[in-house]
Amino acid sequence: LCSETGSIMDDGTVTRMDDDRYFVSTTTGNVDAIEDWFNWWLAGTGLDVSVTNVTAAWGAINVAGPRARETLAKLTDVDLSPDAFDYMRTAQGDAAGVPSIFLRIGFVGETGWELHFPAEYAEHLWNAVMEAGSEYGISPFGLEAQRILRLEKGHIIVNQDTDAVTDPLSAGMRWAVRFDKPDFIGRAGLAAIRGRDRDQALVGFVTDDGFVPEDGLCIVANGEPVGRITSSRLSPTRGVGFGLAWVPHGMARAGTRIAIQSGRNEWPATVITEPLYDPEGLRLRT
């Protein structure tokens, strides 16, 4: 979601449930602001549209990993095969007897489904999923694990990897902007900057020698700060320090060597422009 000027406000999913009904998710802390934003744009239009905040009424469980399909298949009659249920598609059906919305999305980079369902069934459905996946070694994963997994895929977190003036073109999300659409909120702002050379770009990086910098450290050139790290972790998959950083546009090319200032030391790193893990996205489409 972009503001009128083209700055990133939030990200989430919009699922078409029927001809005239949509299910929208936002980042957790932004739900009230986005609800107000929708209603602000509706005001005075005369459109027959209602926006209802159902956050408190719905529970959600993300079932992801190489055995997610086998786990959920025990609980539902929904056809989860790749041909029947493709990536970025949705279906409605029962899961462990609970009416649910199935969203096939991949924030963590593996085959997975988000299940959304009436909140009063959350404990029942959680227990059913854990039991169904027990033979595959299923395990809960928390926020820190999710943040490492999303970072390996190069997925941003709004307000951590972005700020109030970040636009999707500078943040490496040109794929998400469809200028062939006749109009969308923020189109004019993005069209105005589309052909300009931007000062900074958001890129991935991998450090040398396993060094894991802290979030917020400076990228330096000739001893002067020229950029900053927004997210950084140790990748258990690759065994390297890596993350996302804003760098001058001229440095935003794969293979460019950069330096990270930590205390009095400068640590070398290399710019990457593809996800660290499964860059082709084959696993989440399997």
Give the pLDDT confidence score for residue 83 in this predicted structure: 93
Tokens for 88?
Answer: 């970025």
pTM of the model as a whole: 0.91
Give the pLDDT confidence score for residue 197 in this predicted structure: 75
Give the pLDDT confidence score for residue 230 in this predicted structure: 98
Rounded to an integer, what is the distance from CA 64 to the centroid of its chain?
14
Give the pLDDT confidence score for residue 138 in this predicted structure: 98
Query: What residues in the chain have per-residue pLDDT under 50?
Result: none
Give the pLDDT confidence score for residue 251 in this predicted structure: 96
Give the pLDDT confidence score for residue 195 in this predicted structure: 79
CA distance 76 to 202: 41
| Cβ neighbours around 47 below 10 Å, total | 9
Torsion of CA 251, 234, 214, 6, to 10 degrees: 50
CB 167 within 8 A of CB 190: yes
- What phi and psi, each to the nearest 5 degrees, are found at residue 128? -65, -40
CA distance 16 to 24: 9
Give the pLDDT confidence score for residue 213 in this predicted structure: 96
Give the pLDDT confidence score for residue 131 in this predicted structure: 98
Give the pLDDT confidence score for residue 155 in this predicted structure: 93
Cα–Cα distance list, 90 to 16, 46, 102, 129, 162 (Å):
8, 30, 5, 19, 29
**Strand arrangement, sheet containing 58-64:** 58-64, 112-118, 98-103, 90-95
CA distance 107 to 156: 10
pLDDT in tens, 72-89: 999 999 999 999 999 999
CA distance 212 to 220: 16
Give the pLDDT confidence score for residue 210 in this predicted structure: 85
CB 27 within 8 A of CB 37: no
CA distance 218 to 280: 30
